[in-house]
Amino acid sequence: MQHHQRSPHRTVIQMYRAGSSYASGSRSATRRHVDYGRTYVAWPKGRHRATIVWLHGLGDNGASWYQLLETLPLPNIKWICPTAPTRPVSLFGGFPCAAWFDIADPSQDGPDDADGLEASAAHIANLLSSEPADVKLGIGGFSMGAATALYSASCFAHGRYGNGGRYPINLSAVVGLSGWLPCSRSLKTKVESSQEAARRAASLPLLLCHGTGDGVVPYKQGERSAVTLRMSGFRNLTFEAYNGLEHYTIPEEMDAVCKWITARLQLDGSRA
């Protein structure tokens, strides 16, 4: 089975950090209309039981993850791999890059681009909105894509976007690889806003995976995100650590993702 060994996200950030202008990249990018790039779809090889939107990392595109996901032994899943809009990124001093939202610091402590996260969460929900009623829905992602998936999980639990609009998708699973939790400061308040929100948070299966050797989104950020999610009421959460793994994925990790998805979405014996 062929897998990504390294993600372009790792290369983009580390190449830029080697430059002299990295330290000046903390100003917020100017707001502007953004257009999403091409969406790639891997159709199920067996009966369609689930649809998962998978989100790439910073500077990547939907094609690279599409090429990996279509090789996975999950014949009942339809994968939707969108491409983020190209926008000025504060981390890179305003240099335009494919990004789900603006980012100055890939951690829970950095400033949150609420507008960008909101727009991407709505775009993802729209991609899932026309799926058949009997199909289970999920969101996954790598790095910045994982952060966006976790933001969508918080919208699902709350039942609303940050702007108050109703979140329309019933999620059955969320996966985040090498990512972090954005908008963490308000998460506990949102989950505790109603019994329904608390129930949705407690029942949503979450899988977070992180490499201990990650130099882009440090392991401690992934671990801290898992703790924050659990303390906020997301009790159905699995956190997997990969010793020495840097900021990319490996076959062992993707095999674990496949097994977890199969179990949580009850896809066992569903090859027909």
DSSP secondary structure of 96-163: EEE-SS--SSSSTTSPP-HHHHHHHHHHHHHHHTTS-TTSEEEEEEETHHHHHHHHHHHHHHHTB-TT
User: Is residue 112 annotated as part of the catalytic site, yes or no?
Assistant: no
Residue 37 burial by Cβ neighbours in a 10 Å radius (0-12, 13-18, 19+):
middle
User: Is residue 143 annotated as part of the catalytic site, yes or no?
Assistant: yes
The residue behind tokens 């996260």 is: 117
Catalytic residue among 60, 102, 112, 214: 214
Are 72 and 258 contacting, i.e. CB atoms less than 8 angstroms apart? yes
Catalytic residue among 143, 154, 225, 232: 143
Rg (the chain; Cα; Å): 17
Q: Which amino acid is residue 82, in one-letter code?
A: P
CA proximity to 52, closest of 152, 180, 119, 165: 152
User: Is residue 214 annotated as part of the catalytic site, yes or no?
Assistant: yes
Q: Which residues have a catalytic role annotated?
A: 143, 214, 247
